[in-house]
Chains A and B, each alone.
Chain A
Amino acid sequence: QNAASPIMEELIAFHDHALMIIFLISSLVLYIISLMLTTKLTHTSTMNAQEIEMIWTILPAMILIMIALPSLRILYMTDEFNKPYLTLKAIGHQWYWSYEYSDYEDLAFDSYIMPTYFLEPGEFRLLEVDNRTTLPMEADIRVLISSQDVLHSWAVPSLGVKTDAIPGRLNQAMVASMRPGLY
């Protein structure tokens, strides 16, 4: 899905970067294997291979550093201190979510999946719910996720959020969408 939050954009960019490196390495390895298998030359006295060993130690180290630096940057970016505008609590139950907005008054509602036989044409199977959760856009929202019974997980792919809902624990995630839409 397309990114709808700045963090998700970074995550997608990083994923593309890492994937490109992976393709590079695997194609290099496959090429070398094919070269090895299709040559009639043999070399039976390999004793001193200092230079190539240096290369194939230093080069992967540099590649790993190139992967690690953006990764750590994004990791710390997701933990940044934000001033939340609103707090939403998402509590998992079997088998529905209940959402609470309690900054001013206690507003709480349950959100069940629409059974397939109730869906109108054009709606998404297993993704539609009876009461949708509404959030303001372009605002940092703190989502506190917990559970009433068993372990659940609350995720919104295009906003780059996936957090476990654990009974007895409140997990905090920050959500900020750049565009209006249905996520």
Chain B
Amino acid sequence: MAEEMKAKLKNYKTAPFDSRFPNQNQTRNCWQNYLDFHRCEKALSAKGDDVSVCQWYRRVYKSLCPISWVTDWDEQRADGTFPGKI
């Protein structure tokens, strides 16, 4: 499982087609991956597990989300005003 993940991460070219978001509007795709990464990180670090499996979500949201959006959301999370549930 972890080896497949590492292989996938090594061969990462760009965010692949996500069939949950097949249409032109990819805003939700970006948002969902950002949430998934931070939820994964929070859940696994609470249990003390290895966080590197969450790296897939991180690569995807980094590919998809504009950098300005990511910095805004990071600041909101630091302030506690982030609108999503993490």
> Is the pair B17, A144 in contact by a Cβ cutoff of 8 Å?
no
**A-side contacts of B64, CB under 8 Å:** 87, 89, 144, 170
> Is the pair B12, A103 in contact by a Cβ cutoff of 8 Å?
yes
B81 touches A (CB below 8 Å): no
Total A-B pairs, Cβ < 8 A? 64
What separation, in Å, do the CA atoms of A82 and B15 have in the docked complex? 12
> Is the pair B30, A148 in contact by a Cβ cutoff of 8 Å?
no
Q: Is the interface of B mostly helix, strand, loop or mixed?
A: loop
The one of B12, B13, B59, B66 that contacts A146, using a Cβ cutoff of 8 Å: B66
A91 touches B (CB below 8 Å): yes
> Is the pair A84, B30 in contact by a Cβ cutoff of 8 Å?
no
Given contacts A91-B68, A108-B67, A146-B66, contact A171 B14 (CB under 8 A): no
Over the window 54-81 of chain B, the binary record of Cβ atoms lying under 8 Å from chain A Cβ atoms (1 yes, 0 no) is 0000010011111110000000000000
Given contacts A83-B17, A85-B14, contact A106 B67 (CB under 8 A): yes
> Is the pair B68, A102 in contact by a Cβ cutoff of 8 Å?
no
Name the interface residues of A43-102: CB closer than 8 Å to any CB of B: 79, 81-87, 89, 91, 100, 102
Shortest Cβ gap from B25 to chain A (Å): 6
**A-side contacts of B63, CB under 8 Å:** 87, 102-103
B45 touches A (CB below 8 Å): no
Closest residue of chain A to B31 (Cβ to Cβ) is A170
A133 touches B (CB below 8 Å): no
> Is the pair B27, A168 in contact by a Cβ cutoff of 8 Å?
yes
Over the window 142-154 of chain A, the binary record of Cβ atoms lying under 8 Å from chain B Cβ atoms (1 yes, 0 no) is 1010101000000
> Is the pair A142, B14 in contact by a Cβ cutoff of 8 Å?
yes
> Is the pair A169, B68 in contact by a Cβ cutoff of 8 Å?
no
**A-side contacts of B17, CB under 8 Å:** 81-84
What separation, in Å, do the CA atoms of A143 and B43 have in the docked complex? 33
B22 touches A (CB below 8 Å): yes
Report 15 cross-chain contacts, Cβ distance below 8 Å, ordered by A residue: A79-B24, A85-B13, A86-B14, A87-B63, A87-B64, A102-B67, A103-B62, A142-B15, A144-B26, A144-B66, A148-B68, A163-B24, A170-B27, A171-B25, A173-B24
Chain A contact residues, CB within 8 Å of chain B: 79, 81-87, 89, 91, 100, 102-103, 106, 108, 142, 144, 146, 148, 163, 168-173
